[in-house]
Structure 1
Amino acid sequence: MNTPGATFMGSALGGTSSRAPAGDIGPQHWQGGPLQCGDCCHAALRTQPGEQGCEPGHACMQDVYARRIDRFFNWHPDLGDAQLEHPYFEVRAIAARHASVFRLLAMVDDPDETVRLQIALRLPLAQLIRLANDPHREVRIRVAQRLSPTALASMRNDEDYGVRELVALRMPLALLPLMASDRDRAVRMRVAQRLEMPALLRMADDTEVEVRRIVAERLPAPLLLRMARDADWRVRWEVAQRGDAAVLAALQGDEDSEVRQTVAERLGHEVIQLGVAHG
């Protein structure tokens, strides 16, 4: 039995020895220095066998190492609620994985983003919008991954393009045209990959070639003629891949050899197919 203030220095305590993996950092209190098992609020667990108890260097809530804290709460998930206000952020974050969901709303303003990341993973969807304006981008990304599609519109103007990309990938199609003029190319590319007509046609004049290429890949073939004079050969090449006879005629004398070759191959193939049909 530990006496109050007993210090763990890597030797056996309560009949259990440390089994920290080889190469792992040694047991250390989260505030620095050796573990003080006797000062721990769960010191009584040291008398319990195996996973009913705890084990400095392997499963310990007061350790600085998150893996050992995680193992402790895996052994004792029922203790999560009691440690949501622990001064060490790693303890709060890991305790939040096991705590009652009814306790999580009170933690949306936790000062550490590691804790709020865990809250964003477990908070009921009805309350998740509370984290939509979190100061940390990774928290907002988690929110954008989980929010219901209809609630995502409120995040379409997020300052981070990564958040807006997720919104563009999940927002309902009826609302997606709201993002067709996003300031970031990557976001508009995501929009172009999903947008339907007639909104897709309006993106044919986008300033970025990567966006226009996607439009050329998805636009209905009868509407491709308007893109046959695009300033970039890569867009015209995409148009040549799918265009009808009028498009191919417009591109036969294209200034780019790759585009002309594609047109020639398609025209040649159509001639062969016509010959087979009349054979």
Structure 2
Amino acid sequence: MNTAATWNDIPAGHWQGGPLDCASCEHRDLLAQQACEPGRVCMQDAYARRVDRFFACHPGLAVQHLQHGYFEVRAIAARHADVFHLPGLINDPDETVRLQLALRLPQRQLLRLREDPHREVRIRVAQRLAPEQLAPMLRDADYQVRAMVARRLPAALLPLLARDPDAQVRQEAARRLEMPALWELVNDRDPDVRRTVAQRLPGPLLGSFARDADLLVRWEASGRASEDIVGLFLDDPDGEVRERAAQRRLELGRRTEEACNG
């Protein structure tokens, strides 16, 4: 049941300040038809949720409000309008509006937002843009944009991010890099990056982590080490690493026995 307690939690108010004025609203005919409702479904309201309810009920009216003076109205209208009318908002002064474009524009138009001044817009662009179009964003000034690029960049270009100045970007690269490019991160200065490498490096190469300064890196490596190097972890100064190495050796021994008996 719609009661004031459930939906009118914030007092209704005009986006320019003051009370709502239904008599001067260009959509006042909808009130008579009970197709809008002050305090709940209203495009004049300062509260974005009420504006969103309005355009959800009347998506056909969204296009005519794409140039509205209130950024929330423009942003919400952009969510409901057909995409053919959205390119005209690419230079909108508010990032909330441009963010909606980044979520909806087709690929050709989305290219125009690769260098948007706001990081959140560029992150969304990196999420949606075709992977082969991401190369220009490799050197984006924001590390979170580059991290998103690292998740989706074509594999051939991924080594370019292995030396990124930010550890989060290098870690994302490490999750996808294959040998021999992955080997370049074995001695990375960040333990989280090395831990990711230890989770993916071929077993016979994990001996490089036997004396790693980070406990969790050694723990990851000891659980994946090949038979010829697992012994390197059996004398680790940490008991958990030694225990994991011992379990790994037993596991490898059982596999060998099963193979011989099979």
State the TM-score bracket (shorter-chain normalisation). Answer: 0.7 to 0.9
Match of 2:91 among 109, 120, 127: 109
Q: In the alignment, what sits opposite 1:247? A: 229
What is the one-letter code of the residue matched to 2:47?
Y
Aligned mates of 1:174, 1:207 — CA distance in 2: 24
Superposition pairs of residues 95-244 of structure 1, within 5 angstroms: 95-244=77-226
Distance 1:178 1:118 in 2: 30
**Structure 1 residues 58 and 129: alpha-carbon distance in aligned structure 2, compared to 1, 3 A threshold:** same
Equivalent-residue separation in structure 2 for 1:220 and 1:136 (angstroms) = 40
Of the candidates 30, 33, 50, which is equivalent to residue 34 of structure 2? 50
How far does residue 127 in structure 1 lie from its aligned partner after superposition? Answer: 1.0
Q: Measure the CA separation in 1 of the matches of 2:247 and 2:207.
A: 18
Looking at structure 1, the residues matched to 5 and 22 of structure 2 have their Cα atoms a distance apart, in angstroms, of 20
Equivalent position of 2:21 in the other structure: 36
How many residue pairs are counted as aligned between the two chains? Answer: 258
Q: Alignment partner of 2:11: what SS?
A: coil
Does the aligned pair in 1 maintain the 2:234–2:246 contact within 8 Å? yes
State the structure with more CA Rg. Answer: 1
RMSD: 2.4
Alpha-carbon distance between aligned partners in 1 of 2:255 and 2:134, rounded to the nearest angstrom: 49
Summarize deviations over 1:168-226 as a string: whole Å, max 9, x none. 11112121111111111112111111111111111111111111121112111122233
Change (3 A) 1:257 1:63: closer
Aligned with 2:38: secondary structure? coil
Which among 10, 17, 28 is matched to residue 25 of structure 1? 10
Q: Give the Cα–Cα distance (whole angstroms) in 2 for the partners of residues 142 and 83 of structure 1.
A: 24
Q: Deviations over 1:126-154 (max 9, x none)?
A: 11121122222221121111111111222
Tell me which stretches of 4 or more aligned residues in structure 1 moved more than 4 Å: 18-23, 268-278
**Is the 8 Å Cα contact of residues 227 and 252 (structure 2) preserved in structure 1?**
no
Does structure 2 retain, via aligned residues, the 8 Å contact 1:20–1:58? no
- More deviation, 151-160/141-150: 151-160
1:6 equivalent in structure 2: none
CA-CA distance at 1:260 after TM superposition: 3.2
Distance change in 2, residues 1:33/1:212 (3 Å) = same
User: What secondary structure, in the 3-state scheme, does the structure 1 residue paired with 2:175 have?
Assistant: helix
TM-score (norm 2): 0.88
Query: Which letter maps to 1:50?
Result: Q
2-structure distance, mates of 1:27, 1:252 = 68
Q: How big is each residue's C-alpha offset from its partner over 1:33-52, in whole Å with a ceiling of 9 and x where there is no partner?
A: 122222222233333x233x
Deviations 1:197-256 (A, max 9, x none): 111111111111111121112111122233333333432332222222331343444444
Cα separation, partners in 2 of 1:240 and 1:41, compared to 1, 3 Å: same
Asked whether the 8 Å contact 2:212–2:218 carries over to 1, the reply is yes
| Superposition pairs of residues 77-92 of structure 1, within 5 angstroms | 77-92=59-74
> 1:60 deviation in Å?
1.6
Moved more, 248-257 or 171-180: 248-257
* Structure 1 residues not aligned, in runs of 5+: 1-17
Q: Distance in 2 between matches of 1:45 and 1:269?
A: 72
TM-score by length of 1: 0.83
